[in-house]
A and B are shown apart, each in its own frame.
Chain A
Amino acid sequence: MSERDMSGNEPLDDFDAEILAALKAAHNELDPMPAHLDDLVLLAVDGSIVDAELARLVEDARAEARSGDRVRTLRFESELGALFVSVVEVRAGVVRIDGWLVPPVPATVRLRSAGAPDVEVEANDTGRFAVEEVRQGAAQLVVEFASGTMATLAVDL
């Protein structure tokens, strides 16, 4: 083992493997990947609609409403339009979501969530819709406009 060879052309040996394994462990400890990331990715890819416009999450804000409820507001944007969603916890583990589409048009909205059947609701002609009871966890919204389909990134509700 030529310990001072810095060309790096030698094959990896056990000491290299030990260093890499320790680097992996240290980085996982210093900056762990969020535990739910696998679930979000799997939900998003499993139902992915190849020709859907991807709506990116551009805002995720939390505030306290006058009622004292904690409200979370999400804003998604795609080429087809924007989608605002407010999320309020109704009881432990269950949330209500209220959504509105910009521009305000009628559309069919499908809520996909991990481990539960899809829920389909209609947005009215002002672009508003609601789903009363949603179990917390990974979820994705798919919006069918007359002009095409938009699918949001999966988020943890």
Chain B
Amino acid sequence: MSGAAATSPSERNARLAELLDRVRAGESGALEPIVRELNPLLWHVARSQGLSAHDAADVVQTTWLGLVRKADQIHTPAALTGWLVSVTKREAWHYAKRAARQEPTEDVGVDAVAADPELDAGLLADERAVSLMRGFRQLTERCQELLKAVAMADRPDYAAISEALGMPHGSIGPTRGRCLAKLRALLLTDPLWSRT
């Protein structure tokens, strides 16, 4: 599958294990490649909790600082993505609760994620992407949250991400999952996406 399988899971885990060892030894700069790889995923996880762009950025930063402090609690490299996703979601939830108690910030309106197919059409140049988003918006909120996160991961890390988001996946390895099966079925009725 396009680029996603460029590194095998075992190669990736070996690389992550080495990075984590260096972080535990106090070399926090070793995190750079993994920060660059996983930041978009964590950012979208935070945004899915309804945070402004500003708060989402703070949450992502807080999550990484938490990793540096708690690197010794992550025993297997395979658990790293899941750990980061669940800490981001929990931290975002705390931020959202705190923000609800305060005055709404100026940028909430501008930042509100477009949830309207008309807005998508104005923002997306590609007709196929507009049609994809039309199908995506028909999914449940939980399915949207999960699929967005899975899509942001470099390698479809379905099982780890769904568990970290509190949606048990119940299988090992990258299987399609109900949410993706639903979206796929919707797209197959669309001439722009159907494959014959």
Do A and B bind? yes
Interface residues of A (CB under 8 A from B): 3-31, 33-34, 37-38, 40-42, 44-48, 50, 54, 56-57, 60, 153-154
Given contacts A26-B129, A30-B113, contact A44 B61 (CB under 8 A): yes
Q: Is the CB of B177 within 8 A of A8?
A: yes
In the complex, chain B residues whose CB is within 8 Å of the CB of A14: 1-2
Name the interface residues of B169-183: CB closer than 8 Å to any CB of A. 171, 173-183
Given contacts A5-B181, A8-B178, A26-B129, contact A40 B2 (CB under 8 A): no
Interface string of B181-196 (1 = CB under 8 A from A): 1111101100000010
Q: Is the CB of B151 within 8 A of A23?
A: yes
Q: Is the CB of B188 within 8 A of A3?
A: yes
Return the chain B residue nearest A48 by Cβ.
B68
Name the interface residues of B111-130: CB closer than 8 Å to any CB of A. 113-114, 120, 123-125, 128-129
26 contacts between A and B (CB under 8 A): A8-B179, A9-B175, A12-B176, A13-B1, A15-B184, A16-B184, A18-B2, A19-B132, A19-B180, A19-B183, A20-B151, A21-B2, A22-B132, A23-B147, A29-B129, A30-B124, A30-B133, A31-B114, A33-B39, A33-B40, A38-B36, A40-B61, A41-B60, A41-B64, A44-B64, A45-B65
Range for the number of chain B residues in contact with chain A: 35 or more
